[in-house]
Amino acid sequence: MEQYPSVIRAREWIDAAGVRWWMRGGELQGKPLARLGRDSGVRVLHVYLDDVREVPPADRISLLERVRLFERGLADDYVDFRSAEFRNTEGQKLLVIEESC
Interval 32-57: pLDDT, tens: 999 999 999 999 999 998 899 999 99
Contact between 62 and 21 (Cβ < 8 Å): no
Per-residue pLDDT band at 5 (split at 50, 70, 90): confident
Q: DSSP E strands: which ranges in 28-79?
A: 43-48, 51-54
Q: State the Cα–Cα distance between residues 51 and 25, nearest whole angstrom.
A: 24
For residues 6, 100, 68, 54, the Cα torsion angle rounded to the nearest 10 degrees is 60
> pLDDT at residue 94 above 60?
yes
Mean pLDDT, rounded, for 22-39: 95
